[in-house]
Chain A
Amino acid sequence: GAVVSQHPSRVICKSGTSVKIECRSLDFQATTMFWYRQFPKKSLMLMATSNEGSKATYEQGVEKDKFLINHASLTLSTLTVTSAHPEDSSFYICSARVPHYEQYFGPGTRLTVT
């Protein structure tokens, strides 16, 4: 089946710094990737839809200047959390869409901002 990877799996950064998370589709090309945020013991909240070669579409309430998304190729999307603060600590999960309306999810990235 289709495989989606994320890097890093876990990252700790200091408040005020920026951190980049990569999402890759390993064995297929994904024109659309999605970024989710999951709070502890909570459901997944869709942050944005990332389309290759165009600007990401952000969900209401998500700060696009804080969560920068780039989908530079059909196999790579990146999420950069800029000027991170402790409240940005969370589990970030990406997914990539394949034909026949299937989404495959990455293993997630645990971000801790100290």
Chain B
Amino acid sequence: AQSVTQLGSHVSVSEGALVLLRCNYSSSVPPYLFWYVQYPNQGLQLLLKYTTGATLVKGINGFEAEFKKSETSFHLTKPSAHMSDAAEYFCAVSDQGDDKIIFGKGTRLHILP
């Protein structure tokens, strides 16, 4: 069965600093991997996704993530944090050909002025 582990329920970075949100997954078959962002009292917005091909995936708002099969990881990064990046971030996994998406528990990103 698939699962997702997000390390750190809360991460704080200073404005302008590197953002690194960690995600490890477990899947018995090649996975599809996703990062979503959720602002308070709103639904989820897709930041980026990995399906096949290039392992470094670029998303919206300057975020990117790298699929590392050997490490079963899909960490999310952004070179320079902005105050507007403060939100909840969810890593998610699904098996190729499966409709279900399994979410991690989320990481709350705090941006310090």
Residues of A in contact with B (beta carbons under 8 Å apart): 4, 6, 32, 34, 42-44, 46, 49, 91, 93, 95, 97, 101-108, 110
Residues of the B chain whose Cβ atoms lie less than 8 Å from the Cβ of A108: 41-43
Q: Are B106 and A103 in contact (CB under 8 A)?
A: no
Residues of the A chain whose Cβ atoms lie less than 8 Å from the Cβ of B18: none
* Distance between Cα atoms of A107 and B51 in the complex (Å): 25
Q: Are B99 and A93 in contact (CB under 8 A)?
A: no
Knowing A49-B100, A97-B99, the reply to whether A105 touches B45 (Cβ < 8 A) is yes
Shortest distance between the CB of A98 and any CB in chain B (Å): 11
Q: How large is the interface on B (under 10, 10 to 19, 20 to 34, 35 or more residues)?
A: 20 to 34
* Distance between Cα atoms of A43 and B45 in the complex (Å): 14
Residues of the B chain whose Cβ atoms lie less than 8 Å from the Cβ of A101: 32, 51, 94
For the complex with contacts A49-B100, A110-B41, 20 further pairs of A-B residues with Cβ separation under 8 Å are A32-B99, A34-B99, A34-B100, A34-B101, A42-B106, A43-B90, A43-B103, A43-B104, A46-B100, A46-B102, A93-B43, A97-B99, A101-B32, A101-B94, A103-B46, A105-B36, A105-B45, A107-B42, A108-B41, A108-B42
* Distance between Cα atoms of A112 and B53 in the complex (Å): 44
Task: Determine chain A's interface SS by DSSP, over half rule.
Answer: strand
Shortest distance between the CB of B104 and any CB in chain A (Å): 6
Q: Are B99 and A105 in contact (CB under 8 A)?
A: no
Can you give 6 contacting A-B residue pairs, CB < 8 Å? A42-B106, A44-B90, A91-B41, A102-B49, A104-B46, A108-B42
Quick check: is B105 within 8 A (CB to CB) of the other chain? yes
In the complex, chain B residues 81-113 whose Cβ is within 8 Å of any chain A Cβ: 90, 94, 99-106
Residues of the B chain whose Cβ atoms lie less than 8 Å from the Cβ of A102: 46, 49
Residues of the A chain whose Cβ atoms lie less than 8 Å from the Cβ of B43: 4, 6, 93, 105-108
